[in-house]
A = this chain, B = another copy of it.
Amino acid sequence: MEAFRQAVVNTLERRLFYIPSFKIYRGVAGLYDYGPPGCAVKSNVLAFWRQHFVLEENMLEVDCPCVTPEVVLKASGHVDKFTDLMVKDEKTGTCYRADHLLKDFCKEKLEKDPKITEEKAAEFKHVIAVLDEFSAEELGSKIKEYGITAPDTKNPLSAPYPFNLMFQTSIGPSGVSPGYMRPETAQGIFVNFKDLYYYNGNKLPFAAAQIGQAFRNEISPRQGLLRVREFTLAEIEHFVDPEDKSHPKFSEVANLEFLMFPRQDQVSGQSARIIRLGEAVSGGIVNNETLGYFIGRVYLFLTYLGIDKERLRFRQHLANEMAHYAADCWDAEIECSYGWIECVGIADRSAYDLRAHTDKSGVPLVAAEKFAEPIEVEKLVITPVKKELGLAFKGNQKMVVEALEAMGEKEAMEMKATLESKGEVEFQVCTLGKDVTIKKNMVTISKEKKKEHQRVFTPSVIEPSFGIGRIIYCLYEHSFYTRPSKGGDEQLNVFRFPPLVAPIKCTVFPLVQNQQYEEVAKRIAKSLTAAGISYKIDITGTSIGKRYARTDELGVPLAITVDSTTSVTLRERDSKQQIRVSIEEVASVVKEVTDGLNTWNDVLWKYPTHSSAASED
């Protein structure tokens, strides 16, 4: 596993799929650049995301700034709760994540201490399992109990305390307007709900989407490209009537079958199993059709990209993992050398976010369902008689009025009955901390019939959120393999990217360095540009086998070798099969295959196959 990862990462770094950022200055932990092939892969993945989600579902795409004023993230809860627990080396001030230290200690004991008792082993395993739930106090007392010290210096550690993971800054020159680099793109959509709802003709459901950078000032980044301080998110906020979470297109995904890992199965110690999506929804495993629809669409998105479906599962959040307001939550987890990694979160967040911003901003972020005909409803009406209450309670009048108005239907109707039968009633006013006596002339309570023309409500939001960098890293691992060179003396690296993802669709090689072949290569290059196909031309004198190996390592699906002035050899990366195609046709054949109109097997039988000793190595 470690060796496999090392082989992938070496290839990625050597071929500039990624580069540790600011390398000449010894870099910054958790920051990476995408080099040319990585940048092309990312741009292909994002273009496909746009096609698969935004265009096919007619979503409203928006683009909001990264710099965000404090009030927005105060409302969303990030200012108060977006923290990790940290401990400090008491002498040097170096910071560590408290849970990491405890986890590493337990793992080390389990793996390397032969004298460990069975009882102790069980305890360490238990700690690792429940670690994520520990409070600052619990973490601190375990660290003390085990005598854990700073890993670099063995100095004593401070007690754990929360560190906010947002990059803080200041907006404008005055220094009095704190701001943060957004930790997710979603808030930019929520605060625009009103305008977007209007743009959609005041109709639900609709979805808004955003692709953009997000930032988390990790305490100590680990796991290479998986846990970074700046990353690209692609998020969808699908707004829906909480009373109707059906989806008109659910039938299109209902028959998909894939690995799911429901909450129950996790609790009872079972493994993920293949479930038909339609059954998961009808059986109540997945909360509703819309959530189910997105799970299906995410499955299709990831597998089209080339994620191995045997190493992809949808895991339901346990009750204690889920925010209190969430109705249901599933993670698309992809297995790679680091284990099962959360790459897409798909959550039904109910009305939480819109309510939070409604409360903080005072702007109602609500939707309305207009009734075809007005509906008659009975409404409770409580009218305190302020004059009488004033006479009776003087300075306390306001509290009594508020308490009366705040009564629920049951309480109010009971009061009404008592007042009618007895003329007065004892009434508890919490804000006064005592009971008062309400007389019949102090309040009128009634039920009135009203005609309502619409129902006003806060929509629920279903949020699929994609960590693009994580998906791409897992894709690298799932696409990588090695095969022996023709001589058998070395292992060659290959990325089996589908054409959709491949950074370059095709390479053009003159077989030998001569002017005629180079001119043909240039003609072909021109026709490839005209067809909108990204290609690379290699006119170095390197052996053709070496040039194939270079291009396989970049995951280029097709290679054109110019070996005559009328026709060329077209070679497919994984099968290494070769066909002969005329110079005039070759760009359109490449386009058919890379656009997905035909597969390689479709074109294979149409053209003469080619075999040449010179072709490989």
Contact = CB atoms under 8 A, between A and B. Distances in A.
B72 A25 contact: yes
Interface string A49-82: 0110001101011111111110110000000000
A287 interface: no
Interface stretch (A162-170, A377-385, A436-444): A162-170
B25 A71 contact: yes
A21 interface: yes
Given A22-B191, A61-B40, A191-B23, A170 B167 contact: yes
Interface string A1-44: 00000000000000010010111110011011111101110110
A215 interface: yes
B361 A24 contact: yes
B25 A69 contact: yes
Given A31-B67, A66-B213, A67-B215, A192 B42 contact: no
Contacts of A40: 61
Residue from A39, A72, A360, A540 whose CB has the most chain B CB atoms within 10 Å: A39
A240 interface: no
Contacts of A192: 19, 23, 33, 35
Nearest to A180: B169
A532 B532 CA distance: 15
Contact of A16 (B22, B38, B199, B220): B199
Contacts of A616: none
A181 B24 CA distance: 19
29 contacts: A16-B196, A21-B188, A22-B68, A22-B69, A22-B71, A22-B191, A24-B191, A24-B361, A28-B67, A28-B69, A28-B179, A31-B67, A32-B65, A33-B65, A35-B192, A36-B60, A36-B199, A51-B532, A55-B529, A66-B230, A67-B215, A67-B230, A93-B176, A167-B171, A168-B170, A169-B181, A171-B217, A171-B229, A173-B217
Contact of A66 (B66, B68, B174, B220): B66
A65 B529 contact: no
B25 A191 contact: yes
A201 B536 CA distance: 12
